Amino acid sequence: MTVFYACAVLGALGLIFGLALNYAGKKFAVETDERVSRVRECLGGANCGACGYAGCDAFAEAVVKGEAKVNGCAPAGEKGAKAIAEIMGVETAASERLVARVLCQGANGVAKERYVYDGYKSCAVAAGIAGGPKECRFACIGLGDCMAHCSFGAIKMQDGLCVIDEDVCRGCGTCVANCPRGVIKLLPASQKVMVKCRNSDVAREARRVCMHACIGCGLCRKNCPSDAITVENGFARIDPEKCINCGKCASVCPCQAIENLSASDADR
Amino acid sequence: MKVTFKRGVHLSYANKNATKSLPVRDFVSDEVRIIMNMHIGAPSVPCVKKGDHVLLGQVIAEPVGFLGIPVHASVSGEVTDVGTIPYLGETPVQCVTIKNDFKDEWAPLTPLGDVETVDPALIVPAIKNAGICGMGGASFPTHVKLSPKPEQKCELVIVNGAECETHLTCDHRLMLEEGERIVDGLRAVMRALSVERGVICIEDNKPDAIENMRRLCATRSGVSVQVLKTKYPQGGEKQLIEAVTGRQVPVGKLPIDVGAVVCNVGTCAAISDAIRLGRPLISRITTVTGCVKEPANLRVRIGTVAEDMIGACGGFSEEAGKVAFGGGMTGLCIPNTDIPTAKSTNGIVVYNEKDAKSIDEGPCIRCGKCVAACPIGLNPYLIKRAADADRLDEAARLSVNDCILCGCCSYECPSRRWLTASFKIVKQKLAAQAKAKGGKA
């Protein structure tokens, strides 16, 4: 009999609380925009923070509120931006896909070594010790700060140089922010020709420390048919807006400092 | 009574035995390379050019800004180059190379006379003009330290003779051989700040230095010797103040805010020369030890290249793995032996390949040894966790900015985690962040 009473009392209590909670749940329900969760599904989902918000949820809310741009999520890419634009019922301008590119070719053996670094495996630490393990103070240090910060596993280290897999890279820019040397830049994926050196020292010094250093000779500028190249601070720069990817500069560069990705694709 | 601070670590000081009983030996090389940012603050600007003939003690670079001090020629001879060289930090530094003519012709000097009779108002400018900065390692310009704001009242001058670092014996030898200069310098500082009390602090592993300094202090007014327990980082400014006065320097404040000024023994000796002889800071004692054939305490001119000094000590005794400027705990590795010494280079330590090899980092086992060792009372294992995850705000909340980078936590860690190295980076990143914010506002 005691068992019966206990069950009856607990059951009744359960029923009362259940009904009360159900009523409270309906009465005090917080109105949420269902668009937030739909936008959230379209995002990269890495919480990389490249959009400037504290993670994907915060960005989705900002989009629905109209504070953030629909194409603000770099990892989501063009497809994601379109999907979000559809949810929000707005038009989005087709934005160019950006990928991170390493503007240095100073791999082990190419760039001269200053000392053997055997300390804490962090580029930021090594950069602070006597100008870094490589003679060139603009070179990729190759200890993988970018790799450690990449949420997508797009970066690997090879011969003391970071290599970015462009198919995996979502262009969030976390590596760019974490490189103490600033050798990684976000460039349009369609840009196939680039100067892979940022050494602003005088030509003699640049050439001494690396076989593939840009010496600022200006041969590329003279040969560029679309006037896209400027030589400033001792190294050449290509304006992606003007460049027509003809690859002429890469073929005339005496130091092989300019790389033409479409040419190397063809080789493959 | 021996005093000390809380926590810290006990190191093995056996590596001091090689040089602690060797008298200081003079060494002059045939070339010096004098860098322009030997002190904290904006680098000085060279005022000589290639081909100029300079005299010993002649100003070769003018000070810039509030923290600036002039730089003097440490040999007489011809300027052979004014250029840049890579140094210990991230960016190359400006450097004046002088070829020594071994004539040691002094530039005109203006001695101020005895430290007890000189006008106190002349002392601080003389220190600035002599290019004196802290010679213990941090190289903070001394004249700034000795110019407190009106609301800051200095009560005590502490002379740092603790020499808690491993390997180094330069301060020990200085106290034994030239203690008078130290006491003179201390008296000058006391008179400049109109302070009645000066204390020379020495760790109890240097009984001969304690005895010598006690003897010298007996005849002078207001100066005494305080014996400290041997513990690292006893010679840290804040630790020393805690040990001597029992006061802790608050977060973000300077020693002067608790009424104390701390000077290294080498700095005091240089101050004495600046007042009594009018001589600028052109030489210092540097301990060269480790894997060299004849370890020594060398009195070298500022800007002597490490290679020459190692050569003066008979060269490497075995294959060198690392060469560092400074002692075992806070020393900085040099990329090659072509690097000149600066005003704060208290030692060159050569490690063999076995000792130089670093050990791979293991996982944190939460043993708490780092917490027990940290002289500041931080939680290094928690800061390291935040640093590894790149959570700068959390690291800042855990007071990483109060870290003095003494290396006690890394030394004690059984997992050999890179605690101090990562804190240094976090501090740099936070400073950059603060600068960026300040720039925007």
- What's the whole-number mean pLDDT along residues A121-127? 86
On whether residue A7 sits in a domain, the answer given is: no
Tell me: do A175 and A228 sit in the same domain. Answer: no
Tell me: do A253 and A195 sit in the same domain. Answer: yes
Tell me: do A218 and A143 sit in the same domain. Answer: no
Q: How far is B315 from chain A (nearest CA, A)?
A: 20
pLDDT at B379: 93
- pLDDT value at B57 more than 60: yes
Mean pLDDT over each residue of chain B, to the nearest integer: 88
DSSP B376-432: T---HHHHHHHHHTT-HHHHHHTTGGG-----HHHHH-TT---HHHHHHHHHHHHHH
> Among B35-44, B107-116, B324-333, B410-419, which range has the highest average pLDDT?
B410-419
Tell me: do A125 and A168 sit in the same domain. Answer: yes
- What's the whole-number mean pLDDT along residues A192-217? 87
Which chain B residues have a beta carbon less than 8 Å from that of A128? 89-90, 424-425, 428
Closest CA to B409 of B354, B367, B349, B360: B367
B332/A115 CB distance under 8 A: no
Tell me: do A110 and A121 sit in the same domain. Answer: yes
On whether residue A67 sits in a domain, the answer given is: yes
A120/B91 CB distance under 8 A: no
Tell me: do A230 and A243 sit in the same domain. Answer: yes
| Residue A46: domain span | 36-88
Query: Which amino acid is located at B234 in the chain?
Result: Q
Domain end call among A61, A88, A115: A88
B421/A137 CB distance under 8 A: no
Which chain A residues have a beta carbon less than 8 Å from that of B90? 127-128, 131-132, 137
Q: How far is CA A163 from each of CA A76, A106, A114, A123, A160, rounded to the nearest angstrom?
A: 22, 12, 22, 15, 10
**pLDDT, tens digit (0-9, with 9 covering 90-100), for A65-85:** 888 888 888 888 778 888 888
Which chain B residues have a beta carbon less than 8 Å from that of A122? 418, 421-422, 425
Q: In DSSP terms, which residues pair with B290 in a beta bridge?
A: B350
- What's the whole-number mean pLDDT along residues B247-271? 89
Tell me: do A197 and A166 sit in the same domain. Answer: no
**Residue A92 tokens, joined:** 């989005």
Q: How far is CA B52 from each of CA A8, A40, B28, rounded to the nearest angstrom?
A: 106, 70, 20
Residue A7: pLDDT band (50, 70, 90) is: very high
Query: Which amino acid is located at A142 in the chain?
Result: G
Domain end call among A189, A213, A232: A189
- What's the whole-number mean pLDDT along residues A244-268? 79
- What's the whole-number mean pLDDT along residues B237-259? 88
Structural domains counted in chain A: 3
Tell me: do A104 and A184 sit in the same domain. Answer: yes
Tell me: do A166 and A197 sit in the same domain. Answer: no
pLDDT at B110: 86
- What's the whole-number mean pLDDT along residues A29-55? 82
Kindly state the percentage of chain B with pLDDT values over 90: 25
Q: How far is CA B38 from each of CA A191, B131, B138, B263, B321, rounded to the nearest angstrom?
A: 45, 10, 10, 17, 26
- What's the whole-number mean pLDDT along residues B358-382? 91
On whether residue A72 sits in a domain, the answer given is: yes
Instruction: Give the nearest partner residue to A131 out of B91, B390, B421, using CB atoms.
Output: B91
- Which phi and psi angles does B388 have, rounded to 5°? -65, -35
Q: How far is A233 from chain B (nearest CA, A)?
A: 17
On whether residue A224 sits in a domain, the answer given is: yes
Domain end call among A133, A161, A189: A189
Whether residue B63 is preceded by a cis peptide bond, meaning omega within 30 degrees of 0, is no
pLDDT at B299: 92
pLDDT at B441: 45
Give the Cβ contact number of residue B293 at 10 Å: 12
The domain spanning residue A54 has which CATH number?
1.10.15
pLDDT at A268: 44
Match 């030890």 to its residue by tokens: B289
Match 């010298």 to its residue by tokens: B216
Tell me: do A145 and A204 sit in the same domain. Answer: no
- What's the whole-number mean pLDDT along residues B421-428? 90
Task: Establish, for the pair of chains A and B, how many residue pairs have beta carbons separated by less than 8 Å.
Answer: 60
Query: Which amino acid is located at B332 in the chain?
Result: L
- pLDDT value at A267 more than 70: no
| B229 CB-near residues (< 8 Å, 6+ apart) | B2, B3, B4, B203, B204
On whether residue A237 sits in a domain, the answer given is: yes
- pLDDT value at A153 more than 80: yes
Contact B199, B166 (CB under 8 A): no
Residue A94: pLDDT band (50, 70, 90) is: low
Nearest CA in chain B to A136: B86
The domain spanning residue A205 has which CATH number?
3.30.70.20
Tell me: do A43 and A82 sit in the same domain. Answer: yes
- What's the whole-number mean pLDDT along residues B107-121? 85
| A58 CB-near residues (< 8 Å, 6+ apart) | none
Contact A171, A80 (CB under 8 A): no
A128/B89 CB distance under 8 A: yes
Contact B57, B72 (CB under 8 A): yes
Contact B169, B163 (CB under 8 A): yes
On whether residue A139 sits in a domain, the answer given is: yes
pLDDT at B370: 93
Tell me: do A109 and A59 sit in the same domain. Answer: no
Match 């740099």 to its residue by tokens: B428
A125/B89 CB distance under 8 A: no
On whether residue A111 sits in a domain, the answer given is: yes
A137/B88 CB distance under 8 A: no
Contact B245, B212 (CB under 8 A): no
A130/B357 CB distance under 8 A: no
Residue A93: pLDDT band (50, 70, 90) is: low
On whether residue A113 sits in a domain, the answer given is: yes
Domains defined for chain B, CATH in brackets = 110-276 (3.40.50.11540), 369-440 (no CATH)
B335/A129 CB distance under 8 A: yes
